[in-house]
Amino acid sequence: MFENKTKVLLILSQDVLDRARVLAGKATTALKLPVSLQIVLRALIGEGLKREDNPALLANIEDQAKAVRHKRSLVRRAGELGGRLRNLRS
């Protein structure tokens, strides 16, 4: 099933992780098979990619992209401010 594998680092909020764990538990009960968190996440990603034209999915992607841009901007500004403070002290 996974002949061509690669690894990724996925950072999730605790809420999303908890919801995925609940889904894994429900699937384990319903299917009477062990269902891991990894299986659930792979299924969710796979199903989400099938719905690439879904407006809600696109809105979620946009929100996350904007959040990343904002966070990077804050880090960049903090770094510039730190550099200015060091120059003033010199």
Phi, psi of 54 (to 5 degrees): -75, 125
pLDDT tens profile 23-59: 999 999 999 999 999 999 999 999 999 998 999 999 9
For 82: left if phi > 0, alpha if psi spans -120 to 50, otherwise beta; the answer is alpha
3 state SS of 51: coil
For residue 15, name the pLDDT band (cuts at 50, 70, 90): very high
Is the pTM for the entire model greater than 0.75?
no
Mean of the per-residue pLDDT values of the chain: 90
- The residue extents of the domains of the chain are 12-50, 52-90
